[in-house]
Structure 1
Amino acid sequence: MPRFLAVYTMKPEDLASFRSLPKAKQDELDAVGIPKWVEWEQRNAAFIVDRGGMVGKTTRVTKDGVTEAVNPFCGYLVVEAETADAAARLFQDHPHFTVFPGDGVDIMPFLT
């Protein structure tokens, strides 16, 4: 079955806004979102090949050297599905963007 990279995205300014919320408000969102995320993973466990994880600051390496970089990537996982559309449907209503300040999930096929 085809595999797809699912990349969680979040605008840096949205992350900054979330981090600037009072700790109690962040905890309140976590209390709602984390159980929903766990439920999503359990419901889709048969399709998840690699649970991936959340990622931190970016370091970019180019021919000019090593520098800090900014991008919208905040996590990833790998899923199996018949098509890219089927993989995308797994993420509809995901807590990454329905509870937390994420702005989307990008789905990309692995090429063979």
Structure 2
Amino acid sequence: MKAERRTQWLRGVLDLCILGVLYDGEYYGYAISQRLEQAGLGHIKGGTLYPLLARLEEMSLVTSRWTVRQQGPGRKYYVLTEQGRRVFEEQASDWTMFAEHVATLIYRRGE
């Protein structure tokens, strides 16, 4: 897949993907990035991820907390709010329906 196409597609759905990661529990930024990469979305740079997390927090979809570690720097953990859970469920449903409509156009070849 061409990088610029992937970037364009991600721009429209990355916030939903982050909410999906956080739907499973509390994660710090690097762990969110790893989960997204493991899901096949490629490496998401911190310059993309952290502003998006800040925006989701401003929208009251996630909250965060700092933890102090005995070794290494502290970590900022993110978790969905109840509103974030509702928004994720609604948007996930909308995305699924949209993706199905797109799939009907893509896979109709040869009819």
Q: Is TM-score (shorter-chain normalized) higher than 0.5?
A: no
What is the TM-score when the length of structure 1 is the normalising length?
0.24
Bigger relative contact order, structure 1 or 2 (CA pairs below 8 A, ≥6 apart): 1
Structure having the larger proportion of residues in strand: 1
